[in-house]
Amino acid sequence: MAKRPVLGDETDPLDPADLNAFEDGALTTPKAVEWSSIPRCELFNLMNAGVLRWFRDGNSRRISRKDLREELARRYAEHKRNPPPPRKVG
């Protein structure tokens, strides 16, 4: 049986930035949709564009909670810079 590399070992291909991205954990796609309220199709677009880091765990995808939090913060900052016009009542 092959010996599993130790994190930080020179044989370990793990990038420290990737390790940092998942320090807050990872969410499955349905949980990420529920947690963020970002539509599923848009979440997949963000994953495919490389905005959100993710990996496969069996049949499910796991999305970086940290990246998702940063995406929500970017959206909020954009909303503050360019607020939508007030709604007309009536």
Count of CB atoms within 10 A of residue 72's CB? 14
Number of compact structural domains in the chain? 1
73 lies in some domain: yes
Q: Strands (DSSP E) along the chain, which ranges?
A: 26-28, 54-57, 60-64
> When comparing pLDDT for 9 and 22, which is higher?
22
Domain of 52 in residue numbering reads as 25-81
Residue 37 has φ and ψ, to the nearest 5°, of 65, 20
Among 28, 58, 21, which residue's Cα sits nearest to residue 43? 28
pLDDT in tens, 33-78: 999 999 999 999 999 999 999 989 899 999 999 999 999 999 999 9
17 lies in some domain: no
The reported pTM is 0.71
Answer for the pair 63, 31: CB distance below 8 angstroms, yes or no.
no
> Residue 34: its pLDDT value, please?
96
